[in-house]
Amino acid sequence: MEHEYSKREVCSPQIPQKELKFDDYFSTDIIHLKAIFPKSEKYRLIEEFGIDCYYVTDDGNLLFEWDFASYSNMQSWVFSFGDKVIVLEPLKLCKNRKQQAENIAKKETEYDI
């Protein structure tokens, strides 16, 4: 005997109750980035975050502040600038960049580069 499925049974996915609460299921932590970029990075900041995303400092550098929803995305984005960024906040990111620089220097020393 073949079972007849109702439209409700076929079209209604079974989502666990805990996942129905959006704020509980997705992280809502915001990570604030505060960083200084040289003028040479102006085009990229504007292209990615808009014309009003930075302030020009007295020495002509660009002070950038932005809230990110993901630490790993923020980290990857900041690291993509190499030595063209000075991270002021968050402190964890400052420490991560310093550790990465030390690891790179150590590896290059090991290979006598």
Instruction: Please provide the DSSP assignment of 37-60 as one string.
Output: E-GGGHHHHHHHH-TTSEEE-TTS
Residues of the chain predicted below pLDDT 50: none
| pTM: predicted TM-score of the whole model, two decimal places | 0.71
What pLDDT does residue 108 have? 85
Alpha-carbon torsion angle 42, 48, 49, 51, nearest 10: 50
What pLDDT does residue 54 have? 97
Rounded CA gap, 100 and 81, in Å? 13
Query: Per DSSP, what are the bridge partners of residue 54?
Result: 64
Identify which of 98, 41, 90 has the alpha carbon closest to the alpha carbon of residue 67: 90
Identify which of 14, 16, 38 has the alpha carbon closest to the alpha carbon of residue 25: 16
Q: Are 96 and 102 in contact (CB under 8 A)?
A: no
pLDDT tens digits, one per residue of 47-76:
999 999 999 999 999 999 999 999 999 999
CB neighbours of residue 78 within 10 Å: 18
What pLDDT does residue 111 have? 78
What pLDDT does residue 109 have? 83
